[in-house]
């Protein structure tokens, strides 16, 4: 048996046939395997683009067994895949999808470079037509798999159209390879056009979010992103390749490697390393464990972080945020153990005087993280910000928050900084600006906070130097215009728009009104319905259908999803209101809604475009106070801070 690690490029570049035995199962990767794989490749591609790829990522094992004719001259050698065929097939489907996206965007050189990782060069004695394929799956998978590799994207969609539903292949399809190929095509296409984004979207929602371009999304950027994806897969991903000898029992080895066991987390490796070093320091490790580590072994830490990408246990995300706060660097969660070793013992010299000090650092940050994640409420300001970030599904700001919360500044200053972080996220969304660079923004902020300490003036100076679409802090004018004209319902979907409207509800209350938390059963309602009919006439103009293309219809449709036309209702009331006329809706608001946000409608007898704009102006004025600009006095700016 020979064991070595190889970059995927080395595995696929060699001219040989990887044969999947008949007794192995069909290709079976589902979304819960496809998406983490994509997130790994996407993360590595982002590192490549930013020239920050420090470690290679291990993708698991590939066990190969020789086949008798492996060394015949003039024939492409064969090896049998004992374990790893699902993974190797996934690589091939990914490369085929990347090739087709490259052709879609006229990146022909990239498409050509993929060819040699999918196909072998025919040798003089190759008589089998399948010898040209790097991977030969089981017979039941061969036709579909080889069609995907040989044909273009449009041909595949046309030939297998009965397996498509809408724009994709359903999750419950029996053709798992087709689903994987289609998913990869869409993910790669989106990444090459818009880059990576840190805000995730609830896949069960029927609300489509809008991809937003900025000044970085050029044709050159598309080609660079595709190159980065290819480099990430081929050069930044590794396999442990185990080549068996003729007398090795392949089946015993397969069963041993695939036996069920609880996988080690990165933090388990960190713990083992820390306490190994503690023993070498002759510290009483049992006392050290119960005093400083035992809380981290609570099952809560092993649960997936609900609002963070990639899907990893909380303990891994926590350690990543701590390292980022301490170093100001981008930390790769995929190589978290290597990152921690590099942090704790940089260039072979320990960073800390002893292991106890090292553990005390982790314990210092853990209550802050637990508060952000709603496990505790040790600090009401941090808990408030954590709930806001949860609604917006943004965790990339955590390292900055760790720095602020442990900074030597008054609590009022910390509160101002927390409010500005929230304001920045909301302003960008409602102004129609991309969220894809939030990771870069907050990483850069953590670097300057690390050097100069956290304070409002430092944050102001930081944003003063960032004026492009991808990073700037939107001005009052831009924010107001966004509220009046941008489709907030799509730009801030689901819980985000409810958060915005609730803040506006609180901001609409009189000074001495009783405070109350946001109910759980609130629903976003369009006052003018999305499917408006003759019940919603135009002012001084004959009615035209919403899909007529007429100017007045298009103008109304542009205002339909703006803040001025959105409100909050309980879910029960929302169903009963449905597409009623405005006067019927107003009556229901008056009888059943106690929200101050809805008292506005009681003064109105009709609801035309002018009224939507009028309410938008009113709410925009409130929004400027709730989500202040970086240059303003931010004290007491948020309604609930």
- Which residue in 357, 331, 353, 334 sits closest to 343, CA to CA? 331
Q: Tokens standing for 471?
A: 């990073």
Residues with Cβ < 8 Å from 82, sequence gap 6 or more? 21, 63, 64, 65, 244, 250, 251, 253, 254
Classify residue 423: in a domain, yes or no. no
Co-location of 156 and 267 in the same domain: no
Co-location of 157 and 60 in the same domain: yes
**pLDDT tens per residue across span 206-241:** 444 455 666 667 889 999 999 999 999 999 999 989
Percent of the chain with pLDDT strictly greater than 70? 90
Classify residue 559: in a domain, yes or no. yes
558 pLDDT higher than 80: yes
pLDDT of residue 199: 46
Per-residue pLDDT band for 262 (boundaries 50, 70, 90) equals low
Strand partners, 45: none
Co-location of 251 and 270 in the same domain: no
Strand partners, 304: 313
Rounded distance, CA 484 to CA 618, Å? 10
Classify residue 485: in a domain, yes or no. yes
Work out the average pLDDT over 52-61.
82
Instruction: Please confirm whether the linkage preceding 188 is cis (ω < 30° from 0).
Output: no
pLDDT of residue 633: 45
Classify residue 411: in a domain, yes or no. no
Strand partners, 18: 79, 135
Number of domains making up the chain? 3
- Which residue in 180, 196, 193 sits closest to 92, CA to CA? 180
Classify residue 436: in a domain, yes or no. no
Classify residue 37: in a domain, yes or no. yes
Handedness of CA 321, 323, 326, 328 (dihedral sign): negative
Last residue of some domain: 340, 357, 378? Answer: 378
pLDDT of residue 637: 43
Co-location of 111 and 6 in the same domain: yes
Last residue of some domain: 378, 410, 442? Answer: 378
pLDDT of residue 198: 52
| H or E element in which residue 142 lies | helix 139-150
Co-location of 249 and 161 in the same domain: yes
Classify residue 469: in a domain, yes or no. no
Q: 425-439, 545-559, 564-578 — which is least confidently predicted? A: 564-578
Co-location of 309 and 225 in the same domain: no
Per-residue pLDDT band for 263 (boundaries 50, 70, 90) equals low
Co-location of 304 and 161 in the same domain: no
Co-location of 152 and 111 in the same domain: yes
Co-location of 253 and 267 in the same domain: no
Q: Tokens standing for 635?
A: 């004290």
Co-location of 224 and 276 in the same domain: no
Work out the average pLDDT over 481-510.
94
Co-location of 282 and 358 in the same domain: yes
**pLDDT tens per residue across span 298-319:** 999 999 999 888 888 999 999 9
Give the range of the structural domain holding residue 533, as residue numbers without chain letter. Answer: 478-626
Co-location of 31 and 160 in the same domain: yes
Cα 129-133-137 angle, rounded to 5 deg: 100
Classify residue 80: in a domain, yes or no. yes
* Helical pair 411-430 and 380-392, crossing angle rounded to 10 deg: 10
């Amino acid at each position: 048996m020979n064991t070595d690690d190889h970059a995927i490029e080395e595995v696929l570049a060699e001219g040989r046939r990887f044969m999947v035995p008949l007794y192995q199962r069909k290709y079976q990767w589902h979304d819960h395997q496809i998406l983490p794989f994509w997130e790994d490749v996407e993360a590595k591609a982002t590192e490549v683009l930013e020239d920050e790829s420090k470690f290679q990522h291990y993708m698991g094992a590939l066990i190969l067994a020789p086949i008798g004719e492996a060394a015949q001259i003039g024939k492409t050698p064969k090896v049998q895949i004992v374990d790893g065929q699902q993974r190797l097939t996934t690589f091939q489907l990914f490369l085929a999808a990347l090739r087709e996206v490259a052709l879609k965007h006229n990146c022909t050189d990239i498409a050509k470079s993929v060819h040699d990782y999918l196909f072998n060069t025919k040798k003089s004695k190759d008589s089998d037509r399948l010898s040209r394929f790097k991977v030969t799956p089981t017979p039941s998978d061969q036709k579909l798999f080889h069609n995907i590799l040989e044909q273009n994207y449009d041909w595949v969609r046309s030939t297998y159209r009965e397996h498509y539903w809408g724009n994709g292949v359903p999750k419950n399809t029996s053709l798992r390879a087709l689903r994987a190929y289609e998913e990869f095509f869409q993910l790669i296409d989106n990444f090459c056009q818009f880059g990576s984004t840190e805000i995730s979207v609830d896949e069960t929602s029927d609300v489509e979010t809008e991809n937003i371009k900025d000044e970085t999304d050029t044709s050159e950027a598309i080609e660079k992103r595709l190159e980065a994806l290819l480099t990430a897969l081929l050069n930044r991903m590794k396999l442990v390749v185990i080549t068996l000898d003729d007398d090795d029992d392949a089946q015993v080895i397969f069963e041993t490697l695939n036996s069920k066991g609880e996988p080690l987390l990165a933090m388990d490796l960190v713990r083992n390393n820390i306490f190994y070093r503690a023993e070498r320091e002759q510290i009483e490790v049992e006392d050290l464990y119960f005093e400083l580590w035992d809380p981290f072994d609570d099952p809560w830490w092993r649960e997936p972080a609900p609002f963070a990408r990639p899907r990893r246990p909380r303990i891994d995300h926590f350690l990543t945020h701590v390292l980022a706060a301490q170093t100001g660097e981008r930390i790769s969660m995929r190589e978290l153990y290597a990152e921690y070793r590099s942090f704790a013992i940089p260039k072979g010299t320990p960073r800390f005087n002893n292991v106890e000090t090292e553990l005390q650092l982790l314990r210092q940050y853990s209550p802050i993280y637990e508060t952000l994640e709603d496990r505790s409420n040790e600090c009401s300001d941090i808990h408030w910000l954590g709930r806001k970030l949860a609604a917006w599904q943004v965790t990339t700001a955590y390292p900055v928050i760790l720095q602020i919360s442990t900074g030597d500044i008054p609590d009022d200053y910390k509160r101002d900084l927390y409010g500005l972080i929230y304001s920045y996220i909301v302003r960008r969304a409602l102004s129609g600006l991309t969220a894809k660079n939030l990771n870069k923004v907050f990483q850069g902020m953590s670097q300057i906070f690390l050097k100069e300490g956290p304070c409002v003036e430092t944050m102001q100076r930081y944003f003063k130097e960032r004026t492009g679409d991808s990073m700037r802090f939107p001005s009052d004018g831009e924010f107001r215009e966004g509220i009046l004209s941008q489709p907030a319902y799509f730009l801030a979907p689901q819980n985000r728009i409810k958060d915005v409207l609730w803040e506006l509800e609180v901001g609409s209350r009189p000074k001495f009104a009783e405070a109350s938390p946001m109910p759980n059963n609130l629903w976003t309602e369009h006052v003018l319905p999305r499917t408006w009919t003759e019940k919603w006439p135009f002012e001084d103009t004959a009615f035209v259908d919403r899909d007529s293309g007429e100017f007045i219809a298009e103008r109304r449709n542009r205002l339909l999803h703006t803040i001025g036309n959105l409100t909050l209702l309980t879910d029960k009331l929302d169903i009963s209101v449905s597409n009623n006329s405005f006067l019927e809706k107003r009556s229901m608001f008056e009888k059943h809604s106690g929200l101050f946000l809805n008292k506005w409608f009681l003064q109105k007898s009709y609801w035309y475009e002018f009224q939507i704009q009028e309410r938008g102006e009113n709410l925009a004025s409130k929004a400027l106070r709730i989500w202040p600009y970086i240059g303003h006095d931010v004290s007491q700016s948020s309604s609930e801070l």
